[in-house]
Amino acid sequence: MNLYTIPVTTLQGEDTTLARYEGQSILIVNVASKCGLTPQYEGLENLQRLYGPRGFSVLGFPCNQFMGQEPGSAEEILEFCSTTYGVTFPLFEKIDVNGPDRHPLYQELCATIDATGYGGDIRWNFEKFLISPDGLIHRFDPGVTPEDVDLIEAIESGL
């Protein structure tokens, strides 16, 4: 399946696909507002501001599957992200990233193996998938921060 044709819904309720990002570098992240890793929003926004003008975008997919750490409504998530971290990158509707109701986007992404050889279910909030303009996917575990040199190098190599 082509990642760019999978139906997604924005946090504002607009049905769409990722087609507008085809040919760009995108970083898909399952996010949560009440997680110990939530401060990564700041670094993700920094990546968006630094690399956005060069054809890069962070895409956030809220998920409440990890200890209920994203309990908010769409409006609450938008308000939290914009007022607490100044998030300007696109956010999409809350989805499941694991289990029987796993979103089709994550059905595709979970097949990707990271640098340590891990593939399969999402381990926690803020797992990252960098998709280069040529469609190559790099997977980064949740502990890899937006400032991590390996992530930065992978982003820059795709721009």
Active site residues: 35
Cβ proximity of 154 and 146 under 8 Å: no
- Nearest to 12, CA basis, from 75, 62, 61: 75
| Residue 88 near residue 49, CB atoms below 8 Å | yes
Two structure tokens written together for 79:
């308000």
Q: Cα angle at 135 between 63 and 145, to 5 degrees? A: 45
